[in-house]
Amino acid sequence: MFHIGCPMWGYKEWVGNLFPPHTQQSDFLRLYSRQFNTVEGNTTFYATPSIETLLRWCQETPSTFRFCPKISRDISHGTNLSVTRDETLLFTERMRGLGERLGPMFLQLPPGFAPTQLSQLEAFLTFWPNDLRLAVEVRHQSFFQELHATTLNTLLQGYAVARVMMDTRPIQIGSAKEKQVLQTRERKPNLPLQLAITTDFTFVRYIGHPRMEVNEQFLDTWAKQMAEWLKRGMTIYTFCHCPYEVHSPTICQQLYQRVSALAPVPPLPSQHEQSGPPEQATLF
């Protein structure tokens, strides 16, 4: 399976291009889920949704749609990850309310979480429910050095947990001023890309450039890599970001087109509902 989407389902500047003119905010999720088949659930990082909210999300989306909730910052950014058992189990039980629409959850560790704290992560993984999929993102520079990368990857593999692969290379291109503006807006760490397969699915976060020509070479390379993974029977979750989020849907559509040219992938929801090509957000 190939799942692709954005970090959010609602952005006001999508109205008039991805969404019809005058679309109300209450319709954002329903319309978004008719274009893409997954979303990074950043909203759950800040507040745990109510049971009623989860039910509404399910009612507004197709059964094939997948939410990938970001684990609450109270858990991921607390003082000690290993003592969050009760909070973690309460959070995961609430997320079960998404039923079949629940994709892998996403644990984003803070930049200060270092290899010396791996025992906390291991303790967390021991009480993580076995039937729920999980992806972990690390942001400490040491985890991108061979020794610590191998240790982390081995730990995640032992628990069938994916290592999040974040690609920020596109926003490192351009003039010094342009790079500064993009990095300030995106607020993503400048970390090297590390391809790491630790389970049967991958979780990729592509941080795209607002100038589409900059993305082309990276999207071509990612498409080849993803096509290879698909041919190996892996499930892929891909999320396309941009410092100017108005461009994120177009980047998603461009990557999907490249992957679909190289490997069989399920059609996007928009291809079921439209006789013509999906409407794309304008880049400029």
What pLDDT was estimated at residue 271?
63
Indicate the burial class of 271 (C-beta count within 10 angstroms; 0-12, 13-18, 19 or more). middle
**Higher pLDDT among residues 276 and 173, named by residue:** 173
Strands (DSSP E) contained in the chain are 2-6, 38-41, 66-69, 105-108, 134-137, 162-163, 165-167, 201-207, 235-241
In the chain, the N- to C-terminal Cα span, in Å, equals 32
The whole-chain average pLDDT of the chain stands at 90
pTM: 0.91
CATH hierarchy code of domain 2-273: 3.20.20.410
| β-strand partners of 166 | 205
Task: Please say if the pLDDT value at position 276 is more than 50.
Answer: no
Rounded to 5 degrees, φ, ψ at 48 are -80, 125
Tally Cβ neighbours within 10 Å of residue 31. Answer: 19
Six token digits for residue 138: 């690390």
Statement: residue 239 has pLDDT above 60? yes
Delimit the domains of the chain by residue range. 2-273
User: Do you know the residue count of the chain?
Assistant: 284
